[in-house]
Amino acid sequence: MTAQKEAPVKITSKDIAQEFLSRYDTFLFDCDGVLWLGSHALPYTQEILSLLKQLGKQLIFVTNNSTKSRLAYTKKFASFGINVKEEQIFTSGYASAVYVRDFLKLQPGKDKVWVFGESGIGEELKLMGYESLGGTDPRLDVPFSAAESPFLVDGLDKDVNCVIAGLDTKVNYHRLAVTLQYLQKDTVHFVGTNVDSTFPQKGHTFPGAGSMIESLAFSSNRRPSYCGKPNMNMLNTIVSAFNLDKSRCCMVGDRLNTDMKFGIEGGLGGTLLVLSGIETEERALEISADYPRPKFYIDKLGDIYTMTKL
C-alpha cells in the first residue's frame, strides 16, 4: 500500500482551512458519516457544500451505500436542502451494475441477477435493462422453509448468472439461504457492493454490507468481486466521466480502509478524513499495514465552514 509518509495535518484554524480549500478544484464526498448519519444531517453540511459551490468547486458524491439508487439519493439530498444532480452521484450499487454490464458483459433481456440487498441495486440494474430477482421481494420476509419457499419449490431460475450482494437491513435466513443456493452454482458470478464491516448511524455503529457479504462468502466458500470504494474501477469511471485532473481532487471520507485508500491508491492530490463517522483520531495518526494515513483530518466536515465563516 502507498504510505502517506508525512503525518496527517489536522485542520484546526481558518488559515489551514483556507490553504486546504485552495489546493483542490474537485471534492469527492463519501456520504454516510461525512454528510449525514442516517436521516440526521451532520452540522453545517448544507452550508459547507454551498460554500464550496460558491467557490467554484466541483462536487461529486461517492457512497458505498447501495440501499438507494442515484435518483433516490437526489431526493435525500433535496430533503436536506441540497440540490444535487444524479450525474454527480456514484453508489456501490451503481458500480456493481456497471461491473455486470461492462466487465461480466451479461446480456440485458437474457441474463438475470439475484440481488441480496435493498432497492438501490435492482433499480440501477433495471435502468441498464437487467431483470433482477430477490432483493426487496416481500416473499423473502416470510420465515424460511425449504419446502415452501417460492424461490426454491420450482427450482432456481436458470437465467440467473450473477448474484449481487449488498447492505440489507432486512437480512434474514430466507435471504441468506436462497442466495447461497445460487452461489453454489459455479457458473453464477459473485459480486459484492462494498467491504464496509460497519455502518455509522446517529449514536450507534451497526453491521455494514461487508458483514453480510462475508457471511455469504463463508457459507459458499467463495470470494466476491467487490465493486465499491476502494475499487479503482469506480474511481476510473468517475475520473473519465468528468475528465478530472486527479492532482486537484480531494477525497473526503470517514473510513480509512475504503475512502482514504480509494483516494491515496487512486493517486488523488489529497485526502481528508473526518472523525464524525467510523474512525478515531488515534487511528488517523497510526501507521498500519492495513490502511493508509490521510493527508488531512478534521473533527467534522462542517468545521471547515464554521472556521472560514464565523
Task: For ligand PGA, give the closer residue by CB, 96 or 181.
Answer: 96
Is position 96 an interface residue for ligand PGA (rule: CB under 6 A)? no
The site partner of 123 among Mg ion, ligand PGA, none (C-beta below 5 to 8 Å per kind) is: none
Binder to ligand PGA among 28, 140, 188, 209 (CB under 6 A)?
209
The reply to whether 251 sits near ligand PGA by the rule CB under 6 A is no
Contact between 162 and 199 under an 8 Å Cβ cutoff? The reply is: no
- Specify burial of residue 50 (Cβ count, 10 A radius: 0-12, 13-18, 19+): middle
- In angstroms, how far is CA 43 from the centroid of its own chain? 21
Q: Are 114 and 182 in contact (CB under 8 A)?
A: yes
Q: Is 65 in the site for ligand PGA (CB under 6 A)?
A: yes
CA distances (Å), origin 73, targets 65, 79, 206, 209, 238: 10, 10, 21, 18, 17
| Min separation Cβ 205 and ligand PGA, Å | 11
Which residues would be at the binding site for Mg ion (CB under 5 A)? 30, 32-33, 254, 277
Q: Does 151 bind ligand PGA (CB under 6 A)?
A: no
Rule CB under 6 A: say whether 118 interacts with ligand PGA. Answer: no
Nearest-approach distance from CB 255 to Mg ion, in angstroms: 5
Q: If binding is defined by CB under 6 A, does position 74 make contact with ligand PGA? A: no
Give yes or no for a contact between 246 and 182, defined as CB atoms under 8 angstroms apart: no
The position carrying cell 441498464 is: 128
167: contact with ligand PGA by CB under 6 A = yes
- Which range touches ligand PGA (CB under 6 A), out of 59-67, 127-135, 140-148, 302-310? 59-67
| Residue 303 sits in the site that holds ligand PGA (CB under 6 A) | no
Comparing CB distances to ligand PGA, the nearer of 65 and 181 is 65
Distance of CA 236 to CAs 19, 25, 96, Å? 27, 18, 14
CB 310 within 8 A of CB 26: no
The residue whose grid cell reads 467510523 is 278
Q: What is the amino acid identity at position 172?
A: N
- Catalytic residue list contains 111: no
Helix H segments across 41-104?
45-54, 70-79, 92-102
* DSSP state string for 97-153: HHHHHHTS-PPTTT-EEEEES-HHHHHHHHHTT-EEEETT-GGGGSPP-TTT-TTTT
Q: Could you say which residues in the range 1-40 bind ligand PGA, by CB under 6 A?
A: 30-33
Decide whether 112 or 228 has the Cβ nearer to ligand PGA.
228
> 32: which DSSP letter?
B
220 binds ligand PGA (CB under 6 A): no
88 binds ligand PGA (CB under 6 A): no
Partner touching 164 among ligand PGA, Mg ion, none, CB below 5 to 8 Å by kind:
none
Q: Cell numbers of 285, please?
A: 495518526
Establish if 199 lies at the interface with ligand PGA (CB under 6 A).
yes
- Complex with Mg ion: residue 103 or 206, whichever CB lies closer: 206
Q: Which three cell numbers stand for residue 273?
A: 478524513
Q: Which residues bind ligand PGA (CB under 6 A)?
A: 30-33, 63-65, 167, 194, 196, 199, 208-209
Residues classed as catalytic: 25
